[in-house]
């Protein structure tokens, strides 16, 4: 393992933080810009550190609001029907959702569709989700973790730490203020330093110069003039939202089912510990000591990437990271749980089969997730997009997931090499 093994994941966390920050800030606080006064003169120029610091502070005191959020993506064909090589065939068009926000514990979103509306409501601890395509209402409660606290703006030290983490692999820059939708905005661009290691070209946000919330976000893939993901917020209305907006009555004839629990209390506790601290180990051999299934590393990672980090989230999983930053390729291995299932009766098998066919797609259609032959009788499910590829398969009692911002052919070849090594 190279010297980068101990720090290989830090740039990835920094990239996720910045990209997530831009999107969440836009959804959670974009409404503040609605009441901000128009500026007649260009605002002051800010450094990257100053702009990130003001973005993190923006959501703290977001008022009640309603808004429209429009998202357009050309990554995955609608419903994955007929998707194969990320060629964008059948890509979904723009989708707009109405959003009502009444504080941290009150939220309503409505996505209208010709196949049936989808509604999500959070009101205190109560959570309800309605799928108009199947006329199904799922109900549950938000788990209390005892650790929730108000969001705080990142300190200058934290901002500098993030910038230091991503600087080896990324360029983060802002420019002079420009006009957008009759507002002064700061353009903020995040771009890979070595574009030969990733399919991502850049991410661009336009941040309101007075409210410091992103009014627009675009993600570009290489050799693609138009963004593969575009977000824009509009139609802000600031003011008190009626209480009834956060109530969702059972629609006529709807089937009411409980939301699936992520596991029992002990499992959730263990999962929380794993999320907080997934210990690193120095070698595959050391990782093997923690788990009860054979751990295998890639025979040849795409592009000759080195193994930079090994983590063991628990007794039933190992995560290997190759490369760093935008070019990271991640291999996850865990026991194949399908082998642990109790034998089913013929009736139960038929019922499960029927449920799978009906529930995989909101319109009652079975999703046609593309597959690829890895050899040796093993087929992998494959999701290939303009910015990356994901493979998942099972073999010899082990479940594998391999993900990276690399072409599908390169990831498939790495998977085949892993299978040959593991057999």
CB atoms < 10 A from the CB of 53, how many?
A: 19
In terms of pTM, does the model score above 0.75? no
Measured between alpha carbons, how far is 191 from 197 in angstroms, rounded to an integer?
A: 12
Measured between alpha carbons, how far is 62 from 103 in angstroms, rounded to an integer?
A: 8
Tell me, what's the pLDDT at 40?
59
Tokens of 278: 């997934």
Tell me, what's the pLDDT at 373?
96
Residue 132 CB contacts under 8 Å (≥ 6 apart), including other chains: 113, 115, 116, 117, 118, 119, 251
Tell me, what's the pLDDT at 142?
72
Exposure on the CB side of residue 289, measured as CA atoms within 13 A? 7
Enumerate the β-bridge partners of residue 398: 335, 395
Domains recognised in the chain with CATH numbers:
3-104+150-247 (2.50.20), 278-422 (no CATH)
Tell me, what's the pLDDT at 266?
45
Q: Which H or E run includes 54?
A: helix 48-57
Exposure on the CB side of residue 230, measured as CA atoms within 13 A? 13
Residue 292 CB contacts under 8 Å (≥ 6 apart), including other chains: 315, 316, 335
Do residues 40 and 131 touch, judged by C-beta distance below 8 A? no
Distances (CA, A) of 149 to 17, 146, 153, 316: 18, 9, 12, 31
Tell me, what's the pLDDT at 13?
54
How confident is the prediction along the chain (423 residues), in pLDDT tens digits per residue? 544 444 444 455 555 555 555 554 554 444 444 444 445 577 888 888 888 887 777 666 567 788 788 888 887 765 553 333 333 334 456 788 898 988 878 999 998 777 778 999 999 999 999 999 899 999 998 765 444 444 455 666 776 777 677 778 889 898 899 988 778 889 999 999 999 999 999 999 988 887 677 788 999 999 889 999 998 877 767 788 999 999 999 999 999 999 876 544 444 444 444 445 678 999 999 999 999 999 999 999 999 999 999 999 877 899 999 998 899 999 999 998 765 555 444 454 444 444 333 444 444 455 578 899 999 999 999 999 999 999 999 999 999 999 999 999 999 999 999 999 987
The 8-class DSSP code of residue 144 comes to P
CB atoms < 10 A from the CB of 69, how many?
A: 19
Q: What is the dihedral of CA 281, 284, 286, 289, to 10 degrees?
A: 120
Kindly report the length of the chain: 423
b (16+ CB within 10 A) / e for 185-213: bbbbebbbeeeebbbbbbbbbbbbbbbbb
Tell me, what's the pLDDT at 183?
80
Residue 313 CB contacts under 8 Å (≥ 6 apart), including other chains: 274, 275, 278, 319
CB atoms < 10 A from the CB of 406, how many?
A: 23
Measured between alpha carbons, how far is 195 from 201 in angstroms, rounded to an integer?
A: 7
Q: Which H or E run includes 286?
A: helix 284-288
């Amino acid at each position: 393992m190279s010297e980068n093994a101990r720090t290989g994941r830090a740039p990835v966390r920094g990239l996720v933080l910045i990209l997530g920050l831009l999107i969440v800030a836009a959804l959670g606080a974009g409404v503040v810009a609605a009441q901000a006064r128009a500026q007649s003169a260009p605002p002051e120029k800010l450094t990257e550190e100053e702009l990130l610091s003001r973005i993190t502070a923006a959501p703290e005191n977001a008022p009640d609001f309603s808004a429209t959020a429009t998202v357009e993506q050309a990554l995955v064909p609608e419903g994955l029907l007929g998707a194969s090589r990320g060629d964008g065939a059948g890509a979904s068009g723009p989708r707009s959702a109405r959003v009502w926000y009444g504080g941290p514990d009150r939220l309503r979103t409505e996505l209208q569709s010709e196949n049936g509306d989808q509604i999500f409501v959070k009101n205190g601890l109560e959570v309800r989700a309605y799928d108009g395509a199947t006329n199904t209402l799922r109900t549950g409660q938000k788990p209390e973790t005892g650790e929730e606290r108000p969001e705080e703006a990142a300190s200058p030290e934290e901002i500098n730490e993030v910038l230091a983490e991503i600087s080896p692999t990324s360029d983060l820059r802002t420019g002079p203020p420009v006009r957008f939708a009759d507002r002064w905005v700061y353009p903020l661009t995040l771009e890979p330093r070595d574009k030969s290691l990733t399919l991502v070209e850049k991410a661009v946000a336009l941040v309101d110069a007075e409210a410091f919330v992103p009014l627009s976000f675009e993600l570009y893939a290489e050799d693609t003039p138009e963004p593969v993901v575009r977000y824009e917020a509009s139609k802000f209305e600031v003011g008190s939202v009626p209480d009834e907006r956060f109530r969702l009555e059972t629609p006529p004839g709807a089937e009411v089912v409980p939301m699936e629990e992520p596991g029992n209390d002990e499992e959730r506790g263990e999962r929380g510990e794993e999320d907080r601290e997934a210990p690193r180990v120095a070698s595959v051999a050391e990782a093997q000591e923690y788990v009860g299934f054979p751990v295998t590393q890639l025979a040849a990672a795409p592009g000759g990437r080195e193994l930079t980090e090994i983590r063991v989230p628990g007794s039933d999983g190992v995560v290997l990271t190759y490369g760093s930053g935008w070019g990271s390729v991640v291999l996850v291995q865990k026991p194949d749980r399908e082998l642990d299932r109790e034998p089913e009766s013929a009736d139960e098998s038929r019922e499960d089969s029927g449920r799978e066919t009906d529930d995989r797609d909101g319109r009652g259609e079975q999703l046609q997730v593309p597959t690829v032959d890895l050899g040796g009788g093993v087929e992998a499910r494959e999701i290939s997009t303009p910015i990356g590829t994901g493979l998942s398969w099972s073999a010899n009692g082990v479940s594998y997931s391999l993900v990276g911002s690399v072409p599908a052919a390169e990831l498939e070849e790495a998977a085949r090499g892993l299978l040959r090594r593991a057999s």
